[in-house]
Chain A
Amino acid sequence: DTEVTQTPKHLVMGMTNKKSLKCEQHMGHRAMYWYKQKAKKPPELMFVYSYEKLSINESVPSRFSPECPNSSLLNLHLHALQPEDSALYLCASSQDGTDRVTEAFFGQGTRLTVV
């Protein structure tokens, strides 16, 4: 099973709302990623968790708050977003990079629209 499951698939939220994106994998991977992708642009790295600890934070605004409650789950909590935050949010997982033999798998993404 090489599946990464993201929920919801689509989300529309107002600028004052609080919502969460969820990502789940059962491949035993210990590195999990959040990417943001705007239309016709490549994925931009936001956060990386390694063994449930935040490993990389690419200076993402605090209105995005990641959480890794266990080795299978990754959440992205959203609060007071702006319309320019509308994008496809992608989750990925892989074995931790120190293992060096790491194939990354991506979910289908959450299409977020901020109104």
Chain B
Amino acid sequence: KQEVTQIPAALSVPEGENLVLNCSFTDSAIYNLQWFRQDPGKGLTSLLLIQSSQREQTSGRLNASLDKSSGRSTLYIAASQPGDSATYLCAVLGGDYNNNDMRFGAGTRLTVKP
């Protein structure tokens, strides 16, 4: 089954910094990869979806890349703000196990200090 790893587990940066969150997965036969944000005690908010045929997606200050063959994705956050503080989760969909298998990494807990 798919294994998803996220590095770093936690990150604390001053406001205004650019930062990179990393996600890796073991089974490259994925359909897509999705980045989510989760605030404490809340549900997940979808940030970006990258289909398996794509290499990059952008939304505002967020940019996500996908290198399917090497099993890696990065989420780039530009000019970080205190409101970006949350846990960021990557999830991969599909693989040899099941078309609807959606697995999560453990997340990166981001704190942006004013």
List the interface of chain A (C-beta within 8 A of B).
6, 31, 33, 41-43, 45, 48, 50, 55-56, 88, 90, 92, 94, 96-98, 100-109, 111
Contacts and interface: CB of A to CB of B under 8 A. Distances in A.
Interface residues of B, number: 27
Contacts of A88: 41
B99 A96 contact: yes
A105 B100 contact: no
B100 A31 contact: yes
A42 B104 contact: yes
A108 B42 CA distance: 6
Contact of A111 (B36, B41, B45): B41
Nearest to A100: B31
Contacts of A50: 99-100
Nearest to B53: A100
What 8 pairs between A and B have smallest CB-CB spacing? A97-B99, A108-B43, A106-B44, A97-B100, A42-B104, A103-B49, A106-B43, A100-B31
A43 B104 contact: yes
B101 A48 contact: yes
A104 B46 contact: yes
Contacts of B32: 100-103
Contact of A55 (B89, B98, B107): B98
Given A45-B101, A48-B100, A90-B43, A104 B34 contact: yes
B28 interface: no
